[in-house]
Structures are given as structure tokens and as C-alpha cells.
């Protein structure tokens, strides 16, 4: 059943097919009220300042129903859109446009929000880190089911970086794995023995576990719910021997202070799990 790792392009096509299937099903009765000959023109307008993300999903929905549809974008992917401006102009068959409208905008409003809030978090730590390698803002696996690849793509559009894409993409040893394996050292030993070819990261909850993880050969450590003082101590103890990633209920207000401790990365679940739709409006001319 689970015999391959899905690529971004495969995920995008699945997203588009799923969205159109759930919305249109056997047919769009309301779209049949309008003639299907010729074309109509429409404008997509954004009602608030936001980072544009999801062009390929938007166009994919439209062109799945009308392969000859034309979309002329006023902004590039990743651009900051200004409120009440035209995002794109569309020429398409009437029924195709009306049937694709909601699924297409659903993708754009969701992915643009993720890109926007990620950009906000990335900017919040600019210049704050004493780490010569800088400090990266990362996402998590707390995503909308079925939209993992899309949302993680949106994080990169916003200037963030991806934690592991999925379970197949890396080993992250968390507290339950450690408990089941018999401790930090035992869990690290078992992970290394797998010879998986993927990165290994282990979560620690105190300085003692951090020391044990380093002794066991950990090169990437997740320091969960550490205080700022504990983070600074962890950086001093680690001395660059392993990547340090802070996590655990990180708020925007805390972000700059966390980056200032010198950690390498900060992972933030709200980038993909606390979704607010960006306001778009499509108007047929």
C-alpha cells in the first residue's frame, strides 16, 4: 500500500484532482445555467496585504477543466501583494471558470497564509542570532491532512525551511521512542544501526539528556521546551558538535530572544496548523 515517496508534483496533481472531485463530483449544476461557448474574462483581487503562494495549484484547477484557459499574473510567486489590487487576469470558458473558482481560490488562500506568516517569523529574527551560520525558521509535520507537501512548499516561499517532510524523510527520536527503546543511548544506537541514509535527530528535555545524546553521537538535537537560559547553556555545551533546534509553543514575541541564544533552528507548528484564509475575490468582467 505504501510503496513510494510522493514528490511535490505528484502531491500537487493529487491535491487538484481531490479538490475538483469533492466539489464537482458528477457535475456542477449551477454552472450549467450559463452558456459554455466562447470565453469570459475575470479578475482575481486580493483584499489584504499577503505573500502570494500557490499559483501552480490555482492554474492547475482551472486548466484541468479548460486546457486553453489563460492566466496573466500581476505578481510573481513569493511577492508581497498589496491590499485591493489585481492578482491575476483570467480568460477561460465560462463553466470551467465558475466550477474551478472555489477549489482554485481555496488553495491560494491557504498557501498564501502559510507563506505570509512564515515571512513574518523569518523577518522577526533578522540580525538577532550570534550564530555564524545564522538561525533558520522551520515548520513541523502539524499540517492539514493531504496538504503536507503544499504547505511545506509554502513555508519555503515565505523564506522558511522544512523540517523533515514526512516519516520517510528522516529519523526524529522523540520522548515516546526513547521510552520504548530503553533510553537516549539505546535509541541513538538503534537509529545509527538502521543505516537508513536519512538524517537522525533526537529530542531531549533536559541538560542531562543533551549530554547523553552528544556522547551517543547525535549530530542533530531537538531541545524541547528549554528556557532561554537552558538554550544558552545547551549552545555552550554543544560547541557546534551538533545542530540545535528549539521547539515547543514558540510565539512570535519569543522568537527574537530564542534566536539570540545561538541555536541553529527554531521549529514552529503554527506556520501550518493555525491557518487563516487570505481574502481573495474573483469577479467576472
Catalytic residues: 102, 142, 174, 203, 224
Q: What is the spatial distance between Cα 281 and Cα 244, in angstroms, rounded to a whole number? A: 43
Strands across the sheet containing 265-267: 136-138, 265-267, 243-247, 220-224, 200-204, 171-173
| Long-range contacts, 189-197 (Cβ 8 Å, 24+) | 189/216, 192/217, 196/171
Going by C-alpha positions, the residue among 57, 164, 158 that lies closest to residue 105 is 57
Please name the residue ranges forming H helices in the chain: 8-24, 55-65, 94-124, 148-157, 175-181, 184-193, 207-215, 228-238, 252-259, 270-273
Write 140-148 long-range contacts (CB < 8 A, 24+).
Answer: 140/247, 140/267, 140/268, 140/269, 140/271, 140/272, 140/273, 141/166, 142/269, 142/272, 142/273, 143/272, 143/273, 144/110, 144/272, 144/273, 144/275, 146/14, 146/15, 146/18, 147/15, 147/110, 148/11
Beta bridge partners of 92: 40
| Residue matched to cell numbers 498589496 | 82
Whether 284 and 260 have beta carbons less than 8 Å apart is answered as no
Q: What's the residue count for the chain?
A: 285
CB contact at 8 A, 238 and 210: yes
Amino acid at each position: 500500500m505504501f510503496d513510494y515517496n510522493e514528490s511535490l508534483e505528484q502531491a500537487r496533481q493529487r491535491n487538484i484532482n481531490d479538490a475538483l472531485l469533492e466539489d464537482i463530483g458528477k457535475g456542477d449544476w449551477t454552472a450549467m445555467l450559463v452558456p459554455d461557448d466562447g470565453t469570459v474574462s475575470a479578475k482575481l483581487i486580493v483584499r489584504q496585504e499577503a505573500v502570494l503562494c500557490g499559483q501552480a495549484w490555482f492554474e492547475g484547477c482551472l486548466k484541468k477543466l479548460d486546457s486553453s484557459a489563460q492566466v496573466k499574473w500581476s505578481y510573481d510567486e513569493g511577492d508581497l501583494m498589496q491590499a485591493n489590487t489585481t492578482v491575476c487576469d483570467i480568460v477561460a470558458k465560462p463553466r470551467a471558470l465558475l466550477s474551478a473558482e472555489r477549489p482554485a481560490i481555496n488553495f491560494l488562500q491557504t498557501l498564501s497564509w502559510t507563506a505570509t506568516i512564515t515571512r513574518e517569523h523569518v523577518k522577526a529574527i533578522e540580525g538577532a542570532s550570534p550564530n555564524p551560520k545564522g538561525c533558520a525558521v522551520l515548520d513541523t509535520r502539524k499540517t492539514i491532512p493531504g496538504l503536507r507537501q503544499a504547505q511545506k512548499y509554502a513555508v519555503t516561499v515565505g523564506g522558511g525551511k522544512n523540517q523533515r517532510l514526512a516519516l520517510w524523510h528522516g529519523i526524529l527520536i522523540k520522548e515516546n521512542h526513547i521510552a520504548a527503546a530503553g533510553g537516549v543511548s539505546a535509541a541513538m544506537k538503534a537509529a545509527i544501526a538502521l543505516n537508513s541514509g536519512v538524517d537522525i535527530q533526537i529530542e531531549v528535555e533536559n541538560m542531562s539528556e543533551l549530554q547523553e545524546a552528544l556522547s551517543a553521537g547525535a549530530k542533530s538535537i531537538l531541545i524541547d521546551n528549554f528556557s532561554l537560559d537552558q538554550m544558552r547553556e545547551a549552545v555552550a555545551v554543544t560547541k557546534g558538535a551538533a545542530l540545535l533546534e528549539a521547539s515547543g509553543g514558540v510565539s512570535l514575541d519569543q522568537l527574537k530572544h530564542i534566536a539570540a541564544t545561538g541555536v541553529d533552528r527554531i521549529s514552529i507548528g503554527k506556520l501550518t496548523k493555525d491557518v487563516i484564509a487570505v481574502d481573495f475575490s474573483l469577479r467576472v468582467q
